[in-house]
Amino acid sequence: MNLRATLRLAIQALVRNKARSLLTMLGIVIGVAAVIVTVAIGAGARVSVQQSIASLGSNLIVVQPGSVTQGGVRTGFGGASSLTPQDGLAIAQLPGVAAVSPIVSVRSQVVAGGNNWQTQITGVAPTYTFIKAWALASGRFLSESDVASIAKVAVLGQTVVTQLFPGGESPIGKTVIIKGSPFTVIGTMTVLGQSGMGQDQDDVVLVPYSSAMERLTGLTTVNLLMISAATAAQVNPVQSEVVSLLARRHRITPPQPYDFQVRNLQAFAQAASSTGTVMELLLAGVAAVSLLVGGIGIMNIMMVSVTERTREIGLRMAVGARARSILNQFLTESIVLSTIGGLIGVVVGVLGTILVALLAKWPTLIPPGWIFASVGFSAMVGIFFGYYPAQKAAHLSPIEALRFE
Amino acid sequence: MGGVVEVRNLRKIYPMGDDEVVALGGVDLSIERGEFIAVMGPSGSGKSTFMQIVGMLDRATSGSYSFEGRDVAALTDDERADIRSRRLGFVFQSYNLLPRTSALENVELPMVYAGVPEARRLDIALEKMDIVGIKSLADHMPNQMSGGQQQRIAIARSLVNDPALILADEPTGALDTKTSRDVMRIFSDLNATRDITIMLVTHEPDIAAFAKRIVTFRDGHILSDVPNVKRAA
């Protein structure tokens, strides 16, 4: 008995029992479809988390002022006024640092013509676009000379553009009033979308940090220093360099607490991404259980089929089938059932995923590996759960099988 | 000597708890090429057990059995399956056709296991169906056919690999008298015109009457072994 003949026998037997074959397959179809849909949802969630982390900036290190104690009351981090733009310039000299930008934040009403809007005014350095991996949509970005001349220029995020210039006219060259000072709009940013925390990152007006300090906050200190390490591997060494540099500059000796705090987003990114992976595996695990149940369904039906066809098996043996041929026939039936079920399951799963993406508006992603894995796994289910019934059929005694009523 | 079956002191004992049942208690028999032999006896006489051992569906407890000169006791299960496939043909009381499978495919079945190429299978199957007069039923399903037609399909199936011996176990047991005689005439014809060796197992004297030689079993032994002088036709 060659493979082709065995395959034909198996398919003939399955076609002769269409209804039963289809019902048996259904278990595998549902199992595989469930695996694909859940994995697609899980992977989609993980990728969208990764994307929003990436949008926070690459290889980012953030320096915040530390806490201060005044009359026994401790402020939280950021309470101290300890970071200066000069700290930033010193950090920029460290090896492994690609860019540094001081960040000065203040919320304020912004007025343009007849429209006004309360938004985040952020004072930054020209390196900010690089650190945030954020591209300019039109015009130009802040320059070193804007910073040096404390220029009254501003670059608008897209949300601010739509709020202040609803008519669709170009805001470039227009004047916006921030805290009584007129700023000339020199550029607009592309859409960055929501941050990992759900904040609208486009609801912002970017100005030179020097201008923000001089005209908006009136302080000599900044809220944050954003540092971009040259490579991901350099994030941790740069972080410790920054700590010792700032400790020196702020003349802090060990028992004294630091008046600043340095953090990077890698731990956060890794945690978020591994949470996604765990979720994905958990979902796939649940779906795999349904695949397993489908497999047990196959075994159940194959057992019934062996009993029901005992006389047929006896006859096949009498006319010359070897035990191996009988084993192969039943095993092939089971594998064909589960593989066809698996393929149908892939189609149903992909359609289901598209439906979920369209109706629930969930991000989905079908990793191609999982398609092969689930079809392969369902074939394995066929072998595993088909073997016992096939073995049982092959070891029947021909006379007992022929006599079976 | 063209001996097809040579059986010497064949014994088959079934254990039954502490006791044992002797189904065959030392049987000697030879079947030559071209014979048409009827094995008779009441139920429990051992005739069916004898047929199953000769048909290699079961193994003897002791004694020797040689089939076309080969010692059957020394053969593996696979070798026995191959002999069943190529050298033996079976016809059963209940036809044992595959359900929901056309007459043609049923007839082709032994050739599938014997590895006959597909194109030749069709020619041979149609030729054998023509011999038993049911070529026109090739694409009928078993449940669309009468008992006599189904048994003819089974006979055609037993012929496809040109066996050395056809074993027919109560082939007319489920048929009425007229159909029984028709089926027995087919066996007679096959034996007379094509020199096919047939061993028939039956408990009905008027069916055994078609054979050339009648062997009667009782309690696991051969009671008589005589040529049939008054053959039916």
CB atoms within 10 A of CB A279: 17
Is residue B20, in this structure, part of any structural domain at all?
no
Q: Residue A53: what pLDDT?
A: 67
Is residue B179, in this structure, part of any structural domain at all?
yes
B101 touches chain A (CB under 8 A): yes
B86 touches chain A (CB under 8 A): yes
Distance from CA of A314 to the nearest CA of B (A): 9
B36: Cα separation from own chain's centroid? 11
Is residue B29, in this structure, part of any structural domain at all?
no
Is residue B188, in this structure, part of any structural domain at all?
yes
Check whether A75 has a pLDDT greater than 70.
Answer: no
DSSP string, A160-215: HHHHH-TT----TT-EEEETTEEEEEEEEEPP--B-TTS-BTTSEEEEEHHHIIII
Q: Residue B1: what pLDDT?
A: 46
Of B92, B98, B113, the CB nearest to A325: B113
Say how many Å lie between the first and final Cα of chain A, rounded. 28
Token reading at B17: 């708890």
Domain limits for position B142: 34-59+77-227
Is residue B209, in this structure, part of any structural domain at all?
yes
- Strand-pairing partners, residue B169, are B201
Sign of the torsion angle spanned by Cα atoms B148, B149, B153, B159: positive
Provide the 8-state DSSP code for A217: I
Q: Residue A92: what pLDDT?
A: 87
Q: Which residues in B lie closer than 8 A to residue A319 (C-beta atoms)?
A: 84-85, 90, 109-110, 113, 157
Interface contact B100-A9, CB threshold 8 A: no
Distance from CA of B9 to the nearest CA of A (A): 22
CATH of the domain at B47: 3.40.50.300
Domain residue ranges in chain A: 3-52+271-403, 60-264
- Strand-pairing partners, residue B227, are B213
Distance from CA of B232 to the nearest CA of A (A): 30
A227: three-class secondary structure by DSSP: strand
Interface of B with A in 11-50 (CB under 8 A): none
Token reading at A376: 């392969």
Point out the least confidently predicted range of A10-14, A209-213, A254-258, B25-29: A254-258
Q: What is the pLDDT of residues B28-59, one digit of tens each?
A: 999 999 999 999 999 889 999 999 999 999 99
Is residue B39, in this structure, part of any structural domain at all?
yes
Q: What is the pLDDT of residues B165-195, one digit of tens each?
A: 999 999 998 899 999 999 999 999 999 998 8
Q: What is the pLDDT of residues A344-379, one digit of tens each?
A: 999 999 999 999 888 887 778 888 888 888 888 888
What does the alpha-carbon distance between residue B127 and residue B130 come to, in Å, rounded to a whole number?
A: 5
Interface contact B109-A16, CB threshold 8 A: no
Angle between helices A368-394 and A18-55 (to 10 degrees): 150
Interface contact B101-A12, CB threshold 8 A: yes
Of B84, B99, B100, the CB nearest to A318: B84
Distance from CA of B99 to the nearest CA of A (A): 9
A1 touches chain B (CB under 8 A): yes
Q: What is the pLDDT of residues B116-172, one digit of tens each?
A: 998 899 999 999 999 999 999 999 999 999 999 999 999 999 999 999 999 999 999
Is residue B185, in this structure, part of any structural domain at all?
yes
Sign of the torsion angle spanned by Cα atoms A151, A155, A160, A161: positive
Domain count, chain B: 1
Provide the 8-state DSSP code for B71: E
Check whether A162 has a pLDDT greater than 60.
Answer: yes
Cβ-based burial of A47 (10 A; exposed 0-12, middle 13-18, buried ≥19):
middle
DSSP strand pairing (A175-178 vs A97-112): antiparallel
Q: Which residues in A lie closer than 8 A to residue B85 (C-beta atoms)?
A: 319-321
Is residue B5, in this structure, part of any structural domain at all?
no
Average pLDDT of the residues of chain A: 85
